[in-house]
Amino acid sequence: MRRARELRREMTLPELLLWRELHGKKAGLKFRRQFPVLDYVADFACVEVRLLIEIDGIAHDMGDRPGRDQRRDRILGEKGWRIVRIMAGDILKDAKDVAQSIAVLAESQRPLHHPADGPPPRAGEERP
pLDDT at 125: 56
pLDDT at 48: 92
Computed on alpha carbons and rounded to an integer, the radius of gyration of the chain in Å comes to: 18
* 123 vs 45, more confident: 45
Mean pLDDT (whole number) for 47-66 = 79
* pTM for this predicted structure: 0.76
| Ordered structural domains, the chain, with CATH | 2-108 (3.40.960.10)
pLDDT at 20: 93
DSSP string, 62-89: STTHHHHHHHHHHHHHHTT-EEEEEEHH
